[in-house]
DNA sequence: CAGTATCCAACTCGATACTG
DNA sequence: CAGTATCGAGTTGGATACTG
């Protein structure tokens, strides 16, 4: 895992984000937040995920105490995943953030390009314009 | 940017997480949550960040409407970054998650190894043991 | 001071195929 | 069914050096 920046020791945000870091983890937590689901059904519910990644992310959530893994010794094999009480707390803690996210326009930045500046004009973000000495 | 899984349309969590996705973004938002700070001071406050990455992540936050960038036409150059009102909302929305994170043991999983299983025993996560037919 | 430009290593995730 | 193993592409962030 990539080293995270030092943070104020009393702030748990870094650790919380580390736990949900993973492309499918938020969806997994959401899927499990009401009832246990088996491996195969999770796979069907998350179209596009591969078995490898599904297993990896479930395993990480399990290690972090978010998810419980129950093995039933049957044939064919059957394994059910569920949220722990601790994990349910995470699901709740995330709610406010999700609400905030609704105010966002769908396509978020990340790789957006800065538009080319018109000649002779320096643009400032809130719309202020400073004309340079040549104008 | 990597494609995110389909989500329930009315849930903003994915978009919210996209906005804070970036190694230094949570720290940046925290640093700016009270007063405007210049580029150079931010760099000093986040030991280990490079100018390239600092600029990139500030730019993305700006595009997403979290951060405001104010250019003062002086010499030497001076640029101040601050949280927008919208960005302040994000800072608040994240609070509950940070609280939850405090209950976590510091080193989070991600790459944890599954311990080698002792011969003849199948381990299940909550400590239940199923002995196989050879025992 | 506040960027920009290159180059590159690490990490995540997906494709695919195989096993108990 | 529920994993495991292997390989490779894409993305992120760090090192370094240069500019208005």
Strand C atom within 7 Å of B56 CB: no
The reply to whether omega before B14 is within 30° of 0 (cis) is no
CB contact under 8 A, A93 and B97: yes
Q: Chunked in runs of 10, what are the mean pLDDT values of chain A (135 residues)? A: 76 95 98 98 97 98 98 93 98 97 81 45 35 30
Size of interface A-B (CB pairs under 8 A): 192
Q: What is the dihedral of CA B32, B35, B41, B43, to 10 degrees?
A: 0
From the list A1, A13, A110, the residue facing B26 with the nearest CB is: A13
Choose between B98 and B118: higher pLDDT: B98
Interface test with A, best of B98, B114, B117 (most A CBs within 10 A): B98
**Could A71 and B130 be called an inter-chain contact, meaning their C-beta atoms sit closer than 8 Å?**
yes
A11, A19, A126 ranked by CB distance to B68: nearest: A126
DSSP 8-state assignment for residue A22? S
8 Å CB contact of B122 and A73? yes
Instruction: Supply the pLDDT for residue A6.
Output: 81
* pLDDT over 50 (residue B116): no
What is the average per-residue pLDDT within B59-83?
96
Q: Which residue is nearest to nucleotide C15 (CA to C1')?
A: A50
Q: What pLDDT, in 10s, does the model give residues B35-44?
A: 999 999 999 9
Ranges assigned E (strand) in chain A:
37-38, 67-72, 78-83, 121-123, 129-131
pLDDT value of position B30 = 97
φ/ψ of residue A68, rounded to 5: -110, 140
pLDDT at A99: 96
Amino acid A5: pLDDT: 87
Bridge partners of residue A72, in order along the sequence = A78
Q: Is the CB of B117 under 7 A from strand C?
A: no
* More confident site: B75 or B18: B18
Predicted pLDDT at A127 = 32
Predicted pLDDT of residue A108: 72
Whether B33 has a pLDDT exceeding 60, the answer reads yes
Residue B81 (CA) to nucleotide C10 (C1'), in angstroms, measures 30
Q: Is the pLDDT of residue B59 over 90?
A: yes
Architecture of domain A12-105: Orthogonal Bundle (1.10)
Mean pLDDT of chain B: 83
Residues 71-110 of A with CB under 7 A from strand C: 76-77
Asked whether the predicted pLDDT for residue B4 surpasses 90, the reply is no
pLDDT of A117: 43
Instruction: Reply yes or no on whether the pLDDT at B132 is more than 70.
Output: no
Q: Give the start-to-end residue ranges of the domains of chain A.
A: 12-105
CA distance linking residue A129 with residue A111, whole number of Å = 25
The residue among B21, B93, B113 with the most chain A CBs within 10 A of its CB, best to mutate, is: B93
- Report cis status (omega within 30 of 0) of the bond before A6: no
Interface contact A64-B104, CB threshold 8 A = yes
Q: What's the pLDDT at A82?
A: 98
Tokens of A119: 């000649």
List the single residue in B47, B49, B70 with the smallest CB-CB distance to A124. B70
Chain B residue with Cα closest to A94: B97
Residues of A in contact with B6 (CB under 8 A): 47-48
Bigger pLDDT: B33 vs B115 = B33
């Amino acid at each position: 895992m990539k080293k995270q920046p030092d943070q104020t020791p009393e702030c748990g945000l870094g650790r919380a984000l580390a736990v949900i870091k993973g492309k499918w983890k938020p969806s997994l937590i959401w899927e499990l937040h009401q009832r246990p689901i088996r491996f195969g059904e999770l796979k069907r519910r998350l179209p596009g995920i591969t078995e490898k990644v599904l297993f990896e992310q479930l395993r990480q959530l399990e290690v972090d105490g978010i998810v419980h893994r129950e093995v039933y010794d049957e044939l064919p094999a059957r394994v059910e995943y569920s949220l722990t009480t601790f994990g349910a707390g995470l699901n709740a803690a995330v709610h406010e953030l999700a609400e905030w996210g609704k105010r966002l326009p769908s396509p978020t930045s990340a790789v957006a390009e800065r538009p080319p500046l018109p000649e002779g004009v320096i643009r400032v973000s809130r719309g202020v314009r400073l004309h340079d000495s040549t104008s």
